[in-house]
Structure 1
Amino acid sequence: MAAAAEPDLVTRRVRVRGLVQGVGYRYACVQRAEALGLAGWVRNRIDGSVEALLQGPPAQVDRMCEWMRTGVPGARVDRLLAQDVPPPAGRIDGFAQQPTA
């Protein structure tokens, strides 16, 4: 991550609860985020939720959050919590799937 925030980027931490593990949700998140040109990461949480850090233009981050409300066939999203990370968040390069935390 770089030290300075960029004004045309937002960074948002998202937590998704429901049936979102074991259904290809993280893999699909990576594919969707890359298609939208977003940076960040996604990972499973020990409590059964999925957590993501999204960074990109505000409209693209909003589109990703909307997609995450339904996700993939076989997933059931009960709740999505999204919180903007205040500047300076620093620039993130690429989008990756991370190990469970």
Structure 2
Amino acid sequence: MEETQKRMHASVHGIVQGVGFRFFVFQHGVNLGLQGWVRNRFNGEVEVVAEGSQSVLNEFLEKLKEGPQMAQVDEVQVEWFDPSGDLQPFTILETA
């Protein structure tokens, strides 16, 4: 039986800019075979959108909660959606 595919939209709060967070997320997204992107937000958050199987996204979410060594993750807000299938291999986008 094929596992359910989902789309995850996460906002990561804390000390998450200027500490290698986007590259950390990018590496894990690529290594887990996810489609999606990560970008800094002007409000100090990091925004992540990813699509993949529910179990892989859950593993990815745990990595977001940990963050790289220099980061301090205070909160990760997550919304779940049906996948759209319009995402490319994982990438880093410009700040928005």
Structures share fold, TM-score greater than 0.5: yes
Gaps of 5+ in 1: 1-6
Out of 15, 29, 35, which is 1:33 matched to? 29
* 1:49-90 per-position Cα deviation (integer Å, ceiling 9, x unaligned): 0000011011010101011001100100001000012x3623
**1:42-53 to 2 correspondences below 5 Å:** 42-53=38-49
List 4+ stretches of structure 1 deviating above 4 A: none
Identity within the alignment, %: 34
Q: TM (normalized to structure 2)?
A: 0.92
Gaps of 5+ in 2: none
Q: TM (normalized to structure 1)?
A: 0.87
Aligned length: 94
Higher mean C-alpha displacement, 10-19 vs 88-97:
88-97
Matched residues in 2 for 1:11 and 1:88: separation?
5
Out of 66, 69, 80, which is 1:73 matched to? 69
